[in-house]
Amino acid sequence: MTKIFMTRPLPDSVQAAAADLFDLTVRPQTSPLTVEEMRTALSDYDGVVPTLGDMFSSEIFVAEPAWRCQILANFGVGYNHIDVDAATASGLTVTNTPGAVTDATADTAMTLMLMSARRAGEGERLLRAGHWEGWHPTQLLGMHLGGKTVGIVGMGRIGQAIARRCHFGFGMHVAYHSRSAKTLDFPATQMDSLLHLAAAVDVLVVAVPGGDATHHLINAQVLSVMQSHAHLINIARGNVVEESALIAALSAGDIGGAGLDVYEFEPVVPEALKAMENVVLLPHIGTAALEVREDMGMMTVTNLKAFFTGEIPPNKV
């Protein structure tokens, strides 16, 4: 029977569906795989379900001339932790789970936008610490999102879902910078450069894929042209934002605030960020809803089933 290895526990319904089709082993730990664990997974199983943090680099694949594993059915839409070219060269197919994460990630972006603009985290800390002395007209004055301009960096599925929420839900003006012009079902202005976008908006939302091409895309230069009241929101990958430059910009008051769900060196979050009142910090919960994680998991099972029945997996990357 085909042997499948899940690198982290997934929802019970997903594990049950996989166990009905395959000889399933689920690793009980929630931490990323070690190098030795990755090599064992490739040598002992026909398919592996990895996820964020399982760093399948080229060095892992070239350690052996041939592996038993034939497919990495990644749990997640992002797969920059897998060297796809090296995997392909070693005869492995790589799949992911697009679509299932779109709405949940867009909702998280809106959560961060509202919390950051309206100083919700700061207010909750004030109340929980017992320092709230009651309502008054100038307390915790934030930025109203209605009528403001949001800039979307990367207008893919998730970027468009965020933009729709901003336009239809909050009456915001939408601008974006993307590799190509998009045909959209809402009004939006395409900007000719990232710097022009960053300078023009009240909220800059990062929604690009991870990988070498987007590493430190949001750097000191981009942050320096943002307006002093503007907020940066990142729901993409942590290393898309140059974290040290962001800390410097926030410390100097060059931008108004930030809302982050991902971090450059996660799970490590700099003490400087944690100490700032004008930063909202979430523990990478962009897709953390049961039905979303179930949908993602079922997509990995679908990809595995298709592959091992001789079909092209629906989400091959």
Which pLDDT does position 181 carry in this prediction?
87
One fold for 3-100+290-308 and 102-281: yes
How do residues 58-86 score in pLDDT, each as one tens digit?
Answer: 999 999 999 999 999 999 998 999 999 99
Which residue among the candidates 37, 118, 284, 294 is catalytic per the annotation? 284
| Residue written as token pair 């990478």 | 284
pLDDT value at position 180? 87
Taking alpha carbons only, the member of 171, 66, 152, 63 closest to residue 109 is: 152
Torsion of CA 160, 162, 164, 169, to 10 degrees: 180
Say whether 144 is catalytic. no
User: Would you call 283 exposed, middle or buried from its count of C-beta atoms within 10 A (0-12, 13-18, 19+)?
Assistant: exposed
Q: What is the mean pLDDT of the chain?
A: 97
pLDDT for res 103: 96
Q: Where are the domains of the chain?
A: 3-100+290-308, 102-281
Q: Distances from the Cα of 8 to the Cαs of 11, 14, 51, 225, 242, in angstroms?
A: 10, 12, 8, 41, 29
Active-site residue, selected from the candidate residues 237, 243, 264, 293? 237
Each residue's pLDDT tens digit, 257-269: 999 999 999 999 9
**237 catalytic per annotation:** yes
State pTM to two decimals: 0.91
For residue 129, what pLDDT band results from cuts at 50, 70 and 90?
Answer: very high
Sign of CA dihedral 210, 213, 216, 222: negative
pLDDT at 61: 97
Q: Is 266 a catalytic residue?
A: yes
Domain 102-281: give its CATH architecture: 3-Layer(aba) Sandwich (3.40)
CATH number of 3-100+290-308: 3.40.50.720
Cβ–Cβ under 8 Å, residues 88 and 95? no
134-169 pLDDT, tens digit per residue, is 999 999 999 999 999 999 999 999 999 999 999 999
Of 190, 194, 157, 192, nearest in space to 173 by CA? 190
- Cβ atoms 208, 153 nearer than 8 A: yes
Q: How confident is the model at residue 104 (pLDDT cuts 50, 70, 90)?
A: very high
pLDDT of residue 138: 96
Proportion of the chain above pLDDT 90, given as a percent: 97
Please report which confidence band the pLDDT of residue 312 belongs to, taking 50, 70 and 90 as the band edges.
very high
User: Which pLDDT tens digit goes with each residue over 158-202?
Assistant: 999 999 999 999 999 999 999 888 999 999 999 999 999 999 999
Q: What's the CA gap between 237 and 260, in Å, rounded? A: 10
Asked whether the beta carbons of 254 and 199 are under 8 A apart, the reply is no
Which pLDDT band holds residue 204 (cuts at 50, 70, 90)? very high
